[in-house]
Amino acid sequence: MQQHDASTLHYDFRLEVDGVLKSWAVPKGPSTDPRERRLAIPTEDHPLDYADFEGVIPEGQYGAGTVVVWDRGTYENVTEKDGEIRPMAEALKQGHALFRLDGEKISGGYALQRIETGEDESWLLVKMKDDAADARRKPTSTEPQSVLTGRDLGEVAADDGDAEASS
Ligand code: MN
C-alpha cells in the first residue's frame, strides 16, 4: 500500500495476482473499523517491483507527486465458492473478494466489493469483523511513516524532490 500525494492524496492498494499488482486508489485509505466502507477506484495493473517504489514522480509524468510505501506484507485469499477457495483473479472478475492481510500496519480480513461497473467502476474496501478490527485505531492518521524508510510524505518530498531537482 502506497500513500500517494498526486493531484489528490490517496492510498494505492495493490494485491499481487497472477504476476501483476492489481491496483485500486483509495482516497481515504484503509480503515480498521468494520463499519467504515472505503471507496476504492480501480487503476491500471502495475509490475510487481513497483511495490517497493518510494520517491517523487516528476511533474509531467503519470502519477506526478510523492509516493511513500505506507504498508506492505502478504495476503491470503479466503474467497469461497461452493466450499472451495475461488482463485483471486476469478473472485475479482466476479466483483467480490475476501482476503486476510498480514502487513506491518494493516492485518486481518478485508473485503473488496465491486459496487459499480463500466466507466465509473468502483469498489468498496471494508474491514471484516475479527481480532484485528478496531474502531478506534486510525492508522492513516497516526502512522504516516514509510515502512521502508521511516519517512513521511514531507520528508520523502524534501529528500527525493531535491535529488530530482539537482540531477
Ligand atoms: Mn496513485
Whether residue 58 lies inside any domain: the answer is: yes
CA of 76 to the centre of ligand 1 (A): 23
In this predicted structure, what is the pLDDT of residue 165?
A: 52
Residue span of the structural domain in which 119 resides? 2-160
Is the pTM value of this prediction over 0.75?
A: yes
The reply to whether 76 falls in a domain is yes
**11 occurs within a structural domain:** yes
CA of 68 to the centre of ligand 1 (A): 10
Q: Is residue 167 part of a domain?
A: no
From the CA of 91, how far away is ligand 1's center (Å)?
23
Half-sphere exposure of 156 (CA within 13 A, CB side): 25
In a domain, 166, yes or no: no
Given a cut of 50, the residues of the chain with pLDDT beneath it are 167
Task: Give 88 Cα–ligand 1 centroid separation in angstroms.
Answer: 22
Q: Is 145 exposed, middle or buried (0-12, 13-18, 19+ CB in 10 A)?
A: middle
Q: Is residue 19 part of a domain?
A: yes
Q: What's the one-letter identity of residue 154?
A: G
Give the chain's mean pLDDT.
95
Amino acid 160: pLDDT: 87
Domain count of the fold of the chain: 1
The pLDDT score that the predictor gives to residue 106 is: 98
